[in-house]
Structure 1
Amino acid sequence: MEPGQRKPFSQNVTVFHGRWLPEAAMPVGYAALIDAYDLNVPMPTTLAAIGQRHRVYQADGWNLYTPRHKPDADLEGHLVFALRYEGLDLAVLKTLFCTVGPEPVTAIVKASPTGAYARRLWFLYEWLLNERLDLPDATQGSYAPVVDPARQWTIEPTTSSRHRVKNNLPGTPAFCPMVFRTPALDDFVARRLGDEARRLIADVPADLLARTAAFLLLKDSRSSFEIEGEDPPQDRIQRWGRVIGEAGRRPIDRVELERLQRIVIGDARFVHLGLRVEGGFVGEHDRLSGAPIPDHISARHEDLPTLIDGLTAFDRGAARHLDPVLAAAVLAFGFVYIHPFEDGNGRLHRYLIHHVLAERGFNPPGLVFPVSAVILDRIADYRRVLETYSRRLLPHIQWRPTDRGNVEVENETADFYRYFDATPHVEFLFECVARTVDVDLPAETAFLRTYDNFKARVQAIIDMPDRLLDLLFRFLRQNDGKLSKRAREREFAALTDEEVARIEAIYENT
Structure 2
Amino acid sequence: MPAGQQRQFSGPRNIFQERRLPETATLAGYGALIDTYDLAVPLPRRLSATGSHHRIVEDDAWRIMTPRHAPSPDLDGHLTFALKYEGLDLAVLKRLFEATGPEAIEEIVRNKPTGNYARRIWFLYEWLTGERLDLPDAEGGRYVPVIDPEQQFATEGENAPRYRVKNNMPGTREFCPLVYRTPRLEEFIAMDLPERARAVVADVPRDLLARTAAFLLLKDSRSSYAIEGERPPQDRIQRWGRAIGEAGRQPLDRDELLRLQRIVIGDARFIRLGFRDEGGFVGEHDRETRMPLPDHISARHEDLPSLTDGMVAFDQGAARHADPVVAAAILAFGFVYIHPFEDGNGRLHRYLIHHVLAERGFNPPGVVFPVSAAILERIDDYRTVLESYSARLLPLIEWEPTDKFNVRVLNDTADFYRFFDATPHAEFLYACVQKTIEEDLPSETAFLRNYDAFRGQVESLVEMRESTVDLLFRFLEQNNGRLSNRAREREFSALTEEEVGRIEGIYADIFGDVVA
Whether the TM-score (by the shorter chain) exceeds 0.5 is yes
- 1:314 paired residue number: 314
- 1:31 paired residue number: 31
Residue 56 of structure 2 contacts residue 63 of structure 2 at CA under 8 Å; is this kept in 1? yes
2:265 pairs with 1:265: yes
Residue 5 of structure 2 contacts residue 104 of structure 2 at CA under 8 Å; is this kept in 1? no
Is the partner of 1:137 in helix, strand or coil?
coil
- The Cα shift of 1:5 comes to 8.0
Letter of the 1:228 counterpart? E
- 1:295 paired residue number: 295
How far apart in 1 are the matches of 2:501 and 2:147? 68
Match runs of 1:143-182 below 5 Å: 143-182=143-182
2:55 pairs with 1:69: no
- 2:241 paired residue number: 241
Residue 4 of structure 2 contacts residue 104 of structure 2 at CA under 8 Å; is this kept in 1? no
- 2:514 paired residue number: none
- 1:112 paired residue number: 112
How far apart in 1 are the matches of 2:268 and 2:463? 48
Percent identity, please: 67
Residue 5 of structure 1 contacts residue 36 of structure 1 at CA under 8 Å; is this kept in 2? no
Is the partner of 1:101 in helix, strand or coil?
helix
Residue 6 of structure 1 contacts residue 37 of structure 1 at CA under 8 Å; is this kept in 2? no
How far apart in 1 are the matches of 2:416 and 2:270? 30
| CA deviation string 1:336-365 (max 9, x = no partner) | 000000000000000000000111111101
- 1:353 paired residue number: 353
- The Cα shift of 1:490 comes to 1.4
Residue 221 of structure 1 contacts residue 372 of structure 1 at CA under 8 Å; is this kept in 2? yes
2:127 pairs with 1:127: yes
Q: 1:438 to 1:385 in 2, by over 3 A?
A: same
How far apart in 1 are the matches of 2:389 and 2:3? 30
- 2:304 paired residue number: 304
Letter of the 2:374 counterpart? V
Residue 4 of structure 2 contacts residue 75 of structure 2 at CA under 8 Å; is this kept in 1? no
Match runs of 1:367-382 below 5 Å: 367-382=367-382
Residue 401 of structure 2 contacts residue 407 of structure 2 at CA under 8 Å; is this kept in 1? yes
RMSD, aligned α-carbons = 1.0
Is the partner of 1:247 in helix, strand or coil?
coil
Letter of the 1:322 counterpart? A
How far apart in 1 are the matches of 2:60 and 2:373? 33
- The Cα shift of 1:59 comes to 1.9
How far apart in 1 are the matches of 2:443 and 2:489? 32
Residue 116 of structure 1 contacts residue 141 of structure 1 at CA under 8 Å; is this kept in 2? yes
Is the partner of 2:461 in helix, strand or coil?
coil
- 2:230 paired residue number: 230
2:14 pairs with 1:14: yes
| CA deviation string 1:400-454 (max 9, x = no partner) | 1111110000000000000000000000000000000110001000100110000
How far apart in 2 are the matches of 1:108 and 1:286? 51
Structure 1 range deviating more: 302-311 or 54-63: 54-63
- 1:446 paired residue number: 446
Number of aligned residue pairs: 510
How far apart in 2 are the matches of 1:229 and 1:114? 57
Letter of the 1:11 counterpart? G
Q: State TM-score, norm by structure 2.
A: 0.98
Q: 1:5 to 1:404 in 2, by over 3 A?
A: farther
Q: State TM-score, norm by structure 1.
A: 0.99
Letter of the 2:478 counterpart? Q
- The Cα shift of 1:7 comes to 6.2
How far apart in 2 are the matches of 1:318 and 1:218? 30
| CA deviation string 1:36-85 (max 9, x = no partner) | 11101000000000112101121241001001111111111100000010
2:490 pairs with 1:490: yes
Letter of the 2:246 counterpart? E
- 1:186 paired residue number: 186
Q: 1:34 to 1:2 in 2, by over 3 A?
A: farther
Residue 44 of structure 1 contacts residue 89 of structure 1 at CA under 8 Å; is this kept in 2? yes
Is the partner of 2:3 in helix, strand or coil?
coil
- The Cα shift of 1:2 comes to 5.5
Is the partner of 1:408 in helix, strand or coil?
strand
Structure 1: gaps (5+ residues): none
Residue 7 of structure 2 contacts residue 74 of structure 2 at CA under 8 Å; is this kept in 1? no
How far apart in 2 are the matches of 1:485 and 1:247? 46
Letter of the 2:21 counterpart? L
- 2:513 paired residue number: none
Letter of the 2:502 counterpart? R
How far apart in 2 are the matches of 1:26 and 1:72? 12
Structure 1 range deviating more: 472-481 or 104-113: 472-481
Is the partner of 2:217 in helix, strand or coil?
helix
Structure 1 range deviating more: 226-235 or 474-483: 474-483
- 4+ runs of 1 displaced by more than 6 Å? none
Letter of the 1:53 counterpart? H
How far apart in 1 are the matches of 2:442 and 2:284? 40
How far apart in 2 are the matches of 1:50 and 1:485? 73
Q: 1:15 to 1:31 in 2, by over 3 A?
A: same
Match runs of 1:430-509 below 5 Å: 430-509=430-509
- The Cα shift of 1:271 comes to 1.1
- The Cα shift of 1:189 comes to 1.0
Letter of the 1:224 counterpart? S
Residue 41 of structure 1 contacts residue 92 of structure 1 at CA under 8 Å; is this kept in 2? yes
Is the partner of 2:48 in helix, strand or coil?
strand
How far apart in 1 are the matches of 2:60 and 2:195? 38
Residue 315 of structure 1 contacts residue 331 of structure 1 at CA under 8 Å; is this kept in 2? yes
- The Cα shift of 1:485 comes to 1.2
- 1:344 paired residue number: 344
Is the partner of 1:491 in helix, strand or coil?
coil
- 2:55 paired residue number: 55
- 1:391 paired residue number: 391
Is the partner of 1:186 in helix, strand or coil?
helix
- The Cα shift of 1:477 comes to 1.2
Structure 1 range deviating more: 166-175 or 386-395: 166-175
How far apart in 2 are the matches of 1:60 and 1:281? 29
- 1:103 paired residue number: 103
Structure 1 range deviating more: 50-59 or 309-318: 50-59
Letter of the 2:47 counterpart? L
Is the partner of 1:460 in helix, strand or coil?
helix
Match runs of 1:200-215 below 5 Å: 200-215=200-215
| CA deviation string 1:91-136 (max 9, x = no partner) | 0000100111100000000010010000000000000111100000
- 2:41 paired residue number: 41
Letter of the 1:436 counterpart? T
Letter of the 1:48 counterpart? S
- 1:81 paired residue number: 81
Residue 6 of structure 1 contacts residue 36 of structure 1 at CA under 8 Å; is this kept in 2? no
Is the partner of 1:363 in helix, strand or coil?
coil
- The Cα shift of 1:141 comes to 0.6
Is the partner of 2:364 in helix, strand or coil?
coil
- 1:92 paired residue number: 92
Is the partner of 1:135 in helix, strand or coil?
coil
Residue 49 of structure 2 contacts residue 64 of structure 2 at CA under 8 Å; is this kept in 1? yes
Q: 1:265 to 1:43 in 2, by over 3 A?
A: same
